[in-house]
């Protein structure tokens, strides 16, 4: 279960970036955010590659010398296609109270850096994510902030999410559940 947690290993240099790759990645991320914010979960799931590796490591406070504190064996989410399918299926039942009534979410995706890899069919993307989450009539809200390291794969003329690592900026998650996708 040990896994490399990316910290800064994945850095795209300006030289590797080209406008087409950047634009493709940007469009894809914006489209994904729209589907999730609009609660079109089954359509979102169509953007997921069958070989998906989707993880959200636990983070702990550590001294500077020890690095950013991302766990290599503790997770808030550790998903493959089957387990994501189960999450989607359950949100589609009539008893998914956690998201019914649904949260109002707004995903702000910024600081996008993208580069093509492999034979050109893979795009590696880093982005910042800020999610506003409001529920019921309360004016209070939750904010979830983090960085995402994604790999997108083009196959059959569609671009799907092959890998995602969400690096949260919180040691204690400041929302009552992660019934939403990050």
Smallest distance from other proteins to CB 123, Å: 26
For residues 44 and 52, the answer to whether their CB atoms sit within 8 Å is no
Q: Does 4 bind other proteins (CB under 8 A)?
A: no
Pairing relationship of beta strands 48-59 and 141-155 according to DSSP bridges = unpaired
Closer CB to other proteins, residue 59 or residue 116? 59
Closer CB to other proteins, residue 115 or residue 167? 167
Smallest distance from other proteins to CB 103, Å: 11
* Residue 36: other Cβ atoms inside 10 A: 19
Q: Does 61 bind other proteins (CB under 8 A)?
A: yes
Among 34, 80, 106, 108, binds other proteins (CB under 8 A): 80
Q: What dihedral angle (degrees, nearest 10) is formed by the CA atoms of 10, 13, 18, 24?
A: 20
Q: Does 66 bind other proteins (CB under 8 A)?
A: yes
Q: Does 17 bind other proteins (CB under 8 A)?
A: no
Q: Does 87 bind other proteins (CB under 8 A)?
A: yes
Question: Measuring CA to CA, which residue among 134, 165, 159, 168 is closest to residue 20?
Answer: 159
How far is the C-alpha of 25 from the C-alpha of 123, rounded, in Å? 7
Pairing relationship of beta strands 158-168 and 48-59 according to DSSP bridges = parallel
Closer CB to other proteins, residue 110 or residue 172? 172
Residues of this chain that interact with other proteins (CB under 8 A) are 1, 56, 58, 60-63, 65-66, 69, 71, 73-80, 82-83, 85-87, 89-90, 93-99, 171-179
């Amino acid at each position: 279960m040990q896994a490399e947690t990316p910290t800064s290993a994945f850095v795209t240099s300006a030289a590797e970036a080209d406008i087409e790759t950047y634009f493709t990645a940007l469009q894809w991320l914006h489209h994904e955010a729209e589907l999730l914010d609009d609660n079109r979960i089954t359509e979102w799931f169509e953007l997921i590659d069958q070989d998906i590796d989707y993880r959200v490591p636990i983070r702990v406070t550590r001294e500077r010398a020890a690095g950013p504190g991302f766990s290599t064996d503790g997770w808030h989410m550790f998903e493959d296609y089957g387990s994501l399918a189960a999450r989607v299926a359950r949100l589609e039942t009539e008893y998914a109270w956690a998201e019914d009534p649904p949260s109002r979410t707004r995903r702000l995706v910024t600081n996008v850096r993208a580069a093509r890899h492999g034979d050109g069919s893979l795009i590696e993307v880093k982005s910042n994510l800020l999610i506003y989450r409001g529920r019921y009539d309360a004016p209070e809200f939750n904010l979830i902030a983090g960085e995402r390291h994604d790999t997108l794969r083009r196959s059959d003329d569609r671009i799907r999410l092959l890998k995602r690592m969400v690096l949260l900026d919180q040691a204690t998650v400041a929302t009552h559940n992660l019934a939403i996708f990050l």
